[in-house]
Structure formats: structure tokens, C-alpha cells
Amino acid sequence: MDSLLLTGFEPFGGDSRNPSGEIAAALDGTVLHGRILIHSLVLPVATHAAWQLTVTAVRRFKPRWIVATGVAPRATINPESQAVNWCDYRIPDNSGIVRRDQPSVPGTRRIYRTGVDTSNLSAAIRAAGIPAEPSDDAGRFVCNDFYTHLLRLTSRPTHRASRRSLFVHVPKIPEMGGNPPFLPLADIHRGLVALLTALTVPHD
Ligand code: PCA
């Protein structure tokens, strides 16, 4: 059976919830199209530790797709079309590190793009009744930092998940409090299942 690695993050910045990690954990063991097994990881909000765990899981599960998710104050689900190789953390990560004005990976490209069609996937989420649109800015915090590492790894043509890795930002849930916009957890869950189903649809 093929596999798909799905990651989400733990809560951070004083929040007690993070829908990305909760939904990743809930989808662990789900089978898509009767032939693709989801392996999930809930990652610490600290890029180095999160990336080490991901590399270990990629070696173990050899996924054909890697979908990473995180929460951001957005009104819609946003498949991210690119990572910018630049960090400018506005708050410390969960290990207390603040990376200001520095590259994520020194001495390499400034921009990494996904090979996945973010417009198609957004349309698939909307077809399930959930608001979605592509984004070209994953921020300058841990999610973008992590996405730079992910796209750099999977830009190698020989990688099993070459051009099949993606980062998705999801909105906050109402239980997190603070300012809207929010989307209910069940809606984000449904939207991500629609995305994963469309991403892995068999072409034969
Ligand atoms: N969102 C943060 C990091 C972890 C998460 O869920 C971000 O957008 O960078």
C-alpha cells in the first residue's frame, strides 16, 4: 500500500489548541481510495526538532505524498504554493528560539515552489462546501521555515515524494478565542479530507 505522511503542529504562542495537529492525529490510519495509508505526526512548534521527526518518518514510511499543516489567522483553508527561504519570527517558537532576519537554509534558493496544483486543490475543498483559496505567503515563522526544508528535500527529482509535497494553512477554531476569523474544527477536517482525496486521486 502507498503511504501519505500528514503532519500538524502542537499549540503555540499561548494557545491551548491547534486544529492542524488535532486533525492530523484524527486522520492517522485513514485509507484513501482503498490503497493509500495516512501516517500522521503531531510536531513541536520548533523547526529543527519538527524537521528531525519528519525526516525520520519519511525514511520509515517512504511516503509518496507529504502534506504538512499549520494554523494561521486566515478566513479560508490555504494550500501554500511556495516557501520563502527567510525567517523573521514575530514570537519565540516553543523551544524559546526567535530567528530574526536570516535565511532558513543559508546558501541556497530564495524561493521554493510546490509541484502540487494549489488551485485545483482549493477548488476540491470548495466543492466540499468549505472555503479555500491558494496562498503564496506562508508567513516568516515556523510553518514557512519548515516548508522551506520540506520543499528543498522533495525538489530532488529522485525523491519518492518529488513534487508531491505541500503545506496547508488552516483557520483558527472558535474555541481558540481571540479575534475572528474562525472555522469549526469539523469543517476544517472535512476540507482537509477533500484536499487529501483530490491530491491522491488515481489517474489510471
Ligand atoms: N502555525 C505556525 C507555526 C505552527 C502553526 O500551526 C505558523 O504559521 O508558522
Residue range 80-134, pLDDT digits in tens: 999 999 999 999 999 999 999 999 999 999 999 999 999 999 999 999 999 999 9
Q: Is the pLDDT at 200 greater than 90, yes or no?
A: yes
Residue 174: DSSP 8-state = G
Determine the residue type at 2.
D
Given a contact cutoff of 8 angstroms between Cβ atoms, the answer to whether 166 and 116 are in contact is: yes
Q: Is the pLDDT at 204 greater than 80, yes or no?
A: no
For residue 190, give every residue at least 6 positions away whose Cβ sits within 8 Å of its Cβ, in sequence order, or none. Answer: 128, 129, 130
Q: Does the Cβ of 45 fall within 6 Å of ligand 1?
A: yes
Given a contact cutoff of 8 angstroms between Cβ atoms, the answer to whether 21 and 8 are in contact is: yes
Given a contact cutoff of 8 angstroms between Cβ atoms, the answer to whether 21 and 43 are in contact is: yes
What's the gap in Å between 45 CA and the centre of ligand 1? Answer: 7
- Domain 2-199, what architecture? 3-Layer(aba) Sandwich (3.40)
pLDDT at 144: 98
Report domain extents, the chain.
2-199
Closest residue to atom 5 of ligand 1, CA basis: 70
Does the active-site annotation cover 175?
no
Does the active-site annotation cover 169?
yes
Q: Does the Cβ of 68 fall within 6 Å of ligand 1?
A: no
CA distance 52 to 55: 5
Please identify, by atom number, the ligand 1 atom nearest to the C-alpha of residue 70. 6
